[in-house]
Structure 1
Amino acid sequence: MTPPSSPVHEQAPEQRPELTREQARERAEAHLRALVGVREGRAEARLREDQWTAIEALAVDRRRALVVQKTGWGKSAVYFVATLLLREAGAGPTVIVSPLLALMRNQIAAAERAGIRAVTINSTNTEEWEPVQEAIRASDVDVLLVSPERLNNPGFRDQVLPRLAATCGLLVVDEAHCISDWGHDFRPDYRRIRTLLADLPAGIPVLATTATANARVTADVAEQLGVSRAVAQGHAEHDEVLVLRGSLDRESLRLGVVRLKTAEQRLAWLADHLAEQPGSGIIYCLTVAATQEIADYLRSRGHHVAAYSGQTETTERHALEQDLAAGRVKALVATSALGMGFDATLGFVVNMGAPSSPVAYYQQVGRAGRGIDEATVVLLPSTEDRDIWAYFGSLAFPREELVRQTLQVLAEEGRPMSTAALETRVELNRTRLETMLKVLDVDGAVRRVRGGWEATGQEWVYDEPRYRRVAESRSREQQAMLDYLDTDRCRMAFLRDQLDDPAAQPCGRCDNCGGLELSTDVSAAAVEEAGARLARPGVVVEPRKMWPTALANLGVDLRGKITEAAAEGRAVARLTDLGHGPALRALFRPDAEDGPVPVPLVRAVVEVLGDWQPRVEGIAVVESATRPQLTADLADGLSRYLRVPVAGRFAIVDPSVGPGQGAMNSAQRVAAVGRRFNLVGAMPAGPVLLVDDLVVTGWTLTMAARAVRRAGATEVLPLALALQS
């Protein structure tokens, strides 16, 4: 609760005289000192003119504003000080839409330091939702932080959101570049904010903030920010929005690029030079697999690091964030899940692989250098980066026919359908289907309700030209990232140009300006050890444990727990792994010629078997239409090496079912595999090695293992060359 001396509730609203602008600024300065002065020993802290301009627009003029300012500029101070002024004037609570849990935790801690009563509603604290809503109704909350996903939760949207829109005193959209599909981190849930803006009563100020918006994104966000009830009803043009753009220079950052030819050299460089980096920091990776692989290697070299990704359990993520902020670890080896808004004093950021755009890179390096004079930023690019960009690029908005199919299915069903049920009717995986439905929801074509999704019957237009332009924009961003690696001009100026910062100029601090020298030396011992670590093959193939839901819709009588499942298996490596990944990606490229297993991979398979030591009495092989020679050679070689027969084949019996048909979601894949394959051969009454070339979804192995078990095998042990992820 707020202490009695808190400035938020000194007088009842009807007793508070209206402040002049000069008095409002004096109060704002006092609130700023409460926010940062005691904590940082800055009792004389004062607002900068641009900060006051934003606060004045919000708290005095009740306007809408977009603030595009660099990380560390003090955007949170603007909305917290504005909140205190508005609450003193009798306004309702501030609602902050915030994208990441780490950001929410930091914001709540900052608010509490100033005596601001801040609470959150997000996916991790469902047990607190009702008490939080009661506190809001009782006016015991000054700031409510919500995740954008909450905005389209049916219960929150229909019951809580209207009340918030009617009573809030200030709406803040943090990391507002997520609103724009031109931005590097577009999130469909953010588009729901447009509806919230249209529902706000007149005179409610709105603030949108970001550190990473170029001119196009800024214009797009400002246009969406200008949507009011009158605009939505066609009675007015877009409301005028105050746009404040400042210099995006980060005076503390020293940027550099280290080019090394092999993954072994890059890992060795990290092991040799990590201790030299100032303080604690973040090592960014492009994939979850890389975070685990690199963290494991660095720990073996004596470095105190930990892996962090979106797959890390919530409680552990919170603990790791605290460890990093407190300097109890040298680094977190992380994906971009440790990103926007994470507030700590970090001395370095190292990127193992380049992000797909300079804007995304600027966002990541902005984690370093807060509150210190110098921080080091190092990028170690690899030739595999573009493959990873291409994979994530493949997850773009679906083709029009898939969208139309989804709308037709919902219309024909005539009642709400869960995402799991829709998966059986539309060939999209769960993530892409959910993302597409969120976009359609904001466009008005579907609506999220209790029980799933329903069609609204509203006409929907596939904006193909816009999606094409966005894709072209992404391609230009990728080329710009490649240009950043090769440029001989100032690196900070290059990044600022990408963000359309008109004041961009040489920084004097980066490796091209001469302010940073980065050694490319790596010790022979480190390279040898890194090479041995990367060359060590073998990753676990986890068996599927449950059948997809709603298979009965496809005429497949399978449900619940998989009783005739495979045992834990092995693969040489993931396609994204640093060691064997490049060779496997080359082997499985669509244009690669079929042939026998390459000798280096034969050795890797033998090494996997040596570590695993499976005891089997026969082999079953999954046939391949695209790589028949590769799979046959793999099975025959294993037969000779293990001295057991190839007892059967999971044979292609319906070639009309394509090799990857249904692979976009689990239910359709199970149905497709069931039609495509049938087991041929006599299985021994003992353990069987089930051989495949590439595991994509795991459902082919699951269906094959079921067939082998039903044919008499006591156990099925899968072995593959590669896992797709």
Structure 2
Amino acid sequence: MTQTNPAETRTRSHQEAVQVLRELVGRPEAEFHEGQFEAIEALVDHGRRALVVQRTGWGKSAVYFVASLLLRRRGAGPTLIVSPLLALMRDQVEAAARAGVRAVAINSANQLDWEDVSAKLAADEVDVLLVSPERLVNPVFRERELPELIRRTGLLVVDEAHCISDWGHDFRPDYRRIADLIRQLPDTVPVLATTATANSRVVHDIEEQLGTDVLTIRGSLGRDSLRLGVLKLPDNTTRLAWLAEHLKDLPGSGIIYTLTVSAAEETARMLTERGYDVLSYSGKTDTAERELAEQRLKDNQVKALVATSALGMGFDKPDLGFVVHLGAPSSPVAYYQQVGRAGRGGANADVLLLPGAEDRDIWKYFATASMPERDKAMAVLDALETASKPLSSPALEPRVDLGRSRLELLLKVLAVDGAVERVQGGWRATGQGWDYDAERYARIAEARVQEQDLMVIYQETAGCRMEFVTSVLDDPDAHSCGRCDNCAGSWYPSGVSSEALHAASAELDKAGVSVETRSLWPTGMDRLGVPVKGKIPADEAVAEGRALARLSDLGWGGPLREALADGTPDAPVRDAMLQACVTVLKDWGRPPVPGAEPWNGESRPSAVVSIPSARRPQLVDSLAQGLAGIGRMPYLGSMDLAHFHDAPGRRGNSAYRLAEVWDRFAPSAAVREFLEQNPGASLFLVDDSVDTRWTLVVAGRALRQAGAGAVLPFVLAVAG
């Protein structure tokens, strides 16, 4: 019997892999980076499970494309890639097509194409199939398509694998299902997990989920092409002024990251008015508009996209010239992931952080958003276990006091834990039960706080910034970069001209956002003792209103957050804030908000009424009195309280909030007398802030039933 020489076999495998690589990239001189062939060899020749932790731009996609083609040549089925973002899928499908790899994707944007995709799979015309993690919980896909896909899969790739870890900066509940998928695969099917952002704790967590005998390949995370810097400026006005004055000096085109959607929209609007070609980009942006914005940035047709973290993993522009952060991400790990968008093609890129005073408050909110609360989780399970049929999210809201987004996130967590499952028509309990892992969630919460503290230390450090970030990521090769502002001195201007400050101040002083009206009652209100359903009758509805600003706005958002904070004593409205509100009212008829409706002559308010406030009576009363005095209208005082809860608080989801305020308000004697003398008169309805809008709807309904014409709400702040 002829003995196989392992060295000769490895040489042949290497030669074949190099040839495939050269065909893929179209360069006859191409060679593997250190670690690439080792990962390919483990997958193709040994059927192992491998984790690759390498910096952005290292070539992780080359590993799974080469491995896929080699496995296909040996008779294996198609590669299944679980990919978290649509942008990532689009880029990977395009890259695969250029390299001669037959790749298709199925996700929320093209789910109607599944029949065509399924036909191609059946005809063995697909080398790589990319799916979103959400597809793994789709009932039809899970029951009809996934079993056959598992049977035929030749290689499973988990891209951006830090998402499967509780400790990863971008943990996603749907990603936890991948561990179940791995367990269903035959032991002979190789599995590859890749990420650029994982510290040792995340690596260990991923290794445990991949199974036994995992080959982990970690490379240096240092990015010699990036020049990091931190510029501390006193306030939002100065930060925006700096950006407006110096954006033109940053190289090429790039990304400006913000922490909230409203900050992205506001910054993009200001920069556009200053003559820059920029676009806002967030989770609210339509899919088609996202694709267009990404392409315009790739083609250097815009100076920048002003984006939330929605533009992150998977966006590939090798020559991206800069990344600026207006507000710091909540951890150095998340920061590294975002700055990794720049300098990928070897060209130098500038990275500048402009931290904000509000950063910690924003971090705190998002850090707890994915944590299930024990009582809420048990309420969901009780509701599903006692229901005679599956329940949708809207149907669960009257049964569980959670907002829609948090309710759906909780359902995903429970589904990953096996307690509930998504089926046709909604969700149902599996009967497996569920235990609240308090210790685990406490550890995660503690880790989040530690990450936030590290981000503050990063801003304060006098040492090399790149070395700090890569050390946090447990890079054994972390070293001084010699390029950042601490190593080589500040490379960015720190001054801001008075003209730029004035322009930024004028932009941030702009006030006025729409308060949309409600047209439908929440479903299932009879379960909470509220006898309404369907459409809100036109003669009981309030009109579209106005607010000074959103709490998350860069301009008036800061003063409003301070005025409405739990620790701030109740006090009369400040003169500057009142004058800004007057400006909003003057502009109401123009209107300043696209799509907003101005009042007409018939609905112009004749008097002012306020919502009775338990927490801020001075603030609400002074605001209403001030608007009435300046508008030369009578102030009729606040409405009467028909009943009062000990813990009002704008808490809970839409249904519970409506139940809490239902029939609470009644027109006062002064209001009734005014309406008897002025039947059909329109009224201003004033409050301090609005979230679900049901307080305004219920109070306005009572005024309409008492004989008021249009009821026009006005509040200081819109939550969110």
User: What residue in structure 2 maps to residue 603 of structure 1?
Assistant: 579
**Shift of residue 202 of structure 1?**
2.1
Q: Are 1:245 and 2:221 matched, yes or no?
A: no
In structure 2, C-alpha distance between the alignment counterparts of 1:604 and 1:673, rounded to whole Å: 29
1:655 to 623, 644, 665: 644
In structure 1, C-alpha distance between the alignment counterparts of 2:536 and 2:102, rounded to whole Å: 49
1:328 to 277, 301, 307: 301
User: What residue in structure 1 maps to residue 701 of structure 2?
Assistant: 706
1:114 to 99, 112, 116: 99
Distance 1:220 1:394, change over 3 A: closer
Q: One-letter code of the match for 2:23?
A: A
User: What residue in structure 2 maps to residue 689 of structure 1?
Assistant: 684
2:446 to 472, 492, 495: 472
User: What residue in structure 1 maps to residue 596 of structure 2?
Assistant: none
**Shift of residue 567 of structure 1?**
2.4
Matched-pair contact (CA < 8 Å) for 1:657–1:676? no
**Shift of residue 416 of structure 1?**
1.4
User: What residue in structure 1 maps to residue 519 of structure 2?
Assistant: 545
Q: Deviations over 1:485-536 (max 9, x none)?
A: 0100000000001101111110001000006511101111000110111112
**Shift of residue 649 of structure 1?**
3.9
Q: Deviations over 1:145-189 (max 9, x none)?
A: 111111111111111111111111111111100001111110000
3-state secondary structure, aligned to 2:487: coil
2:180 to 179, 188, 195: 195
Matched-pair contact (CA < 8 Å) for 1:24–1:85? no
3-state secondary structure, aligned to 2:514: strand
3-state secondary structure, aligned to 2:581: helix
In structure 2, C-alpha distance between the alignment counterparts of 1:367 and 1:243, rounded to whole Å: 24
In structure 1, C-alpha distance between the alignment counterparts of 2:67 and 2:401, rounded to whole Å: 48
Matched-pair contact (CA < 8 Å) for 1:358–1:480? yes
Q: Deviations over 1:10-34 (max 9, x none)?
A: xxxxxxxxx9432322222122122
3-state secondary structure, aligned to 2:64: helix
User: What residue in structure 1 maps to residue 631 of structure 2?
Assistant: 642
Matches within 5 A, 1:133-532: 133-226=118-211, 239-344=212-317, 345-514=319-488, 517-532=491-506
Q: Deviations over 1:247-271 (max 9, x none)?
A: 0011100000111102111111101
User: What residue in structure 2 maps to residue 26 of structure 1?
Assistant: 15
Q: Are 1:575 and 2:551 matched, yes or no?
A: yes
In structure 1, C-alpha distance between the alignment counterparts of 2:130 and 2:667, rounded to whole Å: 55
Q: Deviations over 1:465-502 (max 9, x none)?
A: 11001000000000100001010000000000110111
Distance 1:679 1:144, change over 3 A: farther
Name the count of aligned residue pairs. Answer: 690
Mean Cα displacement is larger for which, 187-196 or 434-443? 434-443
User: What residue in structure 2 maps to residue 715 of structure 1?
Assistant: 710
Distance 1:184 1:456, change over 3 A: same
Mean Cα displacement is larger for which, 672-681 or 596-605? 672-681
Q: One-letter code of the match for 2:383?
A: V
Matched-pair contact (CA < 8 Å) for 1:69–1:245? yes
3-state secondary structure, aligned to 1:255: strand
User: What residue in structure 2 maps to residue 14 of structure 1?
Assistant: none
In structure 1, C-alpha distance between the alignment counterparts of 2:375 and 2:665, rounded to whole Å: 28
Q: Deviations over 1:674-700 (max 9, x none)?
A: 153344432441322111111122222
What TM-score comes out, normalization by structure 1 length?
Answer: 0.93
Q: One-letter code of the match for 1:592?
A: T
In structure 2, C-alpha distance between the alignment counterparts of 1:375 and 1:153, rounded to whole Å: 41
Q: Deviations over 1:615-638 (max 9, x none)?
A: 211222111111112111111222
Q: One-letter code of the match for 1:668?
A: Y
Q: Deviations over 1:606-657 (max 9, x none)?
A: 2212222562112221111111121111112222122222346443322226
User: What residue in structure 1 maps to residue 655 of structure 2?
Assistant: 667
Matched-pair contact (CA < 8 Å) for 1:657–1:675? no
Matched-pair contact (CA < 8 Å) for 1:34–1:113? no
Matched-pair contact (CA < 8 Å) for 2:370–2:409? no
Q: One-letter code of the match for 1:703?
A: V
Q: Which runs of 5+ in 2 are unaligned?
A: 1-7, 590-598
In structure 1, C-alpha distance between the alignment counterparts of 2:506 and 2:333, rounded to whole Å: 35
Report the RMSD for the aligned CA atoms in angstroms: 1.6
Distance 1:551 1:379, change over 3 A: same
In structure 2, C-alpha distance between the alignment counterparts of 1:511 and 1:650, rounded to whole Å: 58
Matched-pair contact (CA < 8 Å) for 2:80–2:131? yes
Matched-pair contact (CA < 8 Å) for 2:228–2:484? yes
In structure 2, C-alpha distance between the alignment counterparts of 1:436 and 1:181, rounded to whole Å: 14
Distance 1:88 1:448, change over 3 A: same
Q: One-letter code of the match for 2:694?
A: W
In structure 2, C-alpha distance between the alignment counterparts of 1:592 and 1:306, rounded to whole Å: 36
In structure 2, C-alpha distance between the alignment counterparts of 1:582 and 1:49, rounded to whole Å: 49
1:557 to 518, 524, 531: 531
In structure 2, C-alpha distance between the alignment counterparts of 1:576 and 1:459, rounded to whole Å: 39
Mean Cα displacement is larger for which, 133-142 or 53-62? 133-142
What TM-score comes out, normalization by structure 2 length?
Answer: 0.93
Matched-pair contact (CA < 8 Å) for 1:254–1:515? no
3-state secondary structure, aligned to 2:306: strand
**Shift of residue 243 of structure 1?**
0.7
3-state secondary structure, aligned to 1:85: helix
Matched-pair contact (CA < 8 Å) for 1:430–1:665? yes
Q: One-letter code of the match for 1:667?
A: A
